[in-house]
Amino acid sequence: MKETVSFSREAANLFFHILTGCNLSCRHCYINPHQHGTQPLPLETIESWLEIFARRSQAANVIFLGGEPTLHPHLSQAVHKARNLGYRSITIDTNGFLFHDILDKISPEEIDYFSFSLDGATVAVNDRIRGDGCFRKCTEGIQNAVSRGFHASLIYTVNQDNIHELPLMPPFLKELGIERFFVQVLGLRGQSAGGINEDHRVSRTEWLETVPSTAEAAADLGIVTVYPKVFLELDEPFECAGQVADNYFVFPNGRVYRCPLCEDHPVHSLRVEENQLLPTGPINETDLFALTIPEGCVMNRLIQPENLAYNDRGDPEYRIACCLLKEELRPI
């Protein structure tokens, strides 16, 4: 069953970057310590901020991120706290190295998913993007987690160097015991914004020829598969999640964004200061959300206009959807 997942107006999502440090230097890393701070959050601060967002949005989903969140020595306590506060679901996004024996410190009942990142179906392709030894380490991490009863999902960020291996992923994921598969589009943020990756994004044609069919193949194997819609026909409705959904992208220096594409710029609309969530003054990202342009997403138009194409009259041939609009395929 295929479904375009519009933004939930009921459930909030807290994307909680508890540190920006990482043991890897993936080529497409979107982390930007210059904008988001270099110091890991102390446990007490993590706990206070979890309380703030639990009060603001009942039964929110929390996703612990970094950098590499398992590098934080108190991640397990943060998970316990989130569970006690009643968060609806808890996910840890990891590169698979699983530091600080995290699998020994939390139980499968305490978190909903470990979400691993792999960017190739082979050592050669993955490690060229993520670094030597990463394929082995990540697949071992998945096997360890799954064998202990944890649910595992996997994120694959599509680019020119790995799109040819995307169709190889569904049987491989099945073999690994992955239950949810997230295909991600290469964004120009953090280190990706430096120019190195601009030539690595795939075209609309390549995306449409490969991603939907791979997603169907994964769903046929019983794996829930999600990918961003990216391209909208001109008659399809456009909505900006920043206006209608309840997402918070929280960073160690207290910046809180409602839109991930804004993260490279000091346009966050909220900030945490002295354990209070406060609005920032104008001009901020919310001023952008309200703008209506024929190309769809305003931030895409500003930071990655190469995604767009125009006809002879200068009208866009299609629109770019909100990056948070997803297609979801559920096995029947």
Residues at the site binding ligand SF4, with contacts judged by CB under 6 A = 22, 24-26, 29, 31, 66-68, 95, 240-242, 259, 261, 288-289, 297-300, 322-324
d(CA 5, CA 288): 23
**Toward ligand SF4, which CB reaches closer, 46 or 186?**
186
Shortest Å distance, C-beta 109 to ligand SF4:
26
**Toward ligand SF4, which CB reaches closer, 276 or 292?**
292
Phi, psi of 327 (to 5 degrees): -95, 135
Neighbours of 162 (CB within 10 A): 24
**Toward ligand SF4, which CB reaches closer, 158 or 322?**
322
**Toward ligand SF4, which CB reaches closer, 9 or 313?**
9
Distances (CA, A) of 299 to 232, 256, 265, 290, 305: 15, 17, 11, 11, 9
**Toward ligand SF4, which CB reaches closer, 185 or 261?**
261
Partners of 231 in the beta sheet? 320
Shortest Å distance, C-beta 53 to ligand SF4:
18
**Toward ligand SF4, which CB reaches closer, 159 or 219?**
159
**Toward ligand SF4, which CB reaches closer, 54 or 319?**
319
**Toward ligand SF4, which CB reaches closer, 26 or 329?**
26
Neighbours of 299 (CB within 10 A): 23
Shortest Å distance, C-beta 86 to ligand SF4:
27
**Toward ligand SF4, which CB reaches closer, 22 or 221?**
22
Shortest Å distance, C-beta 249 to ligand SF4:
10
Shortest Å distance, C-beta 26 to ligand SF4:
3
Shortest Å distance, C-beta 126 to ligand SF4:
11
Shortest Å distance, C-beta 289 to ligand SF4:
5
Shortest Å distance, C-beta 62 to ligand SF4:
18
Give me the count of residues in the chain. 332
Cα torsion through 47, 49, 54, 60, rounded to 10: -100
Shortest Å distance, C-beta 174 to ligand SF4:
24
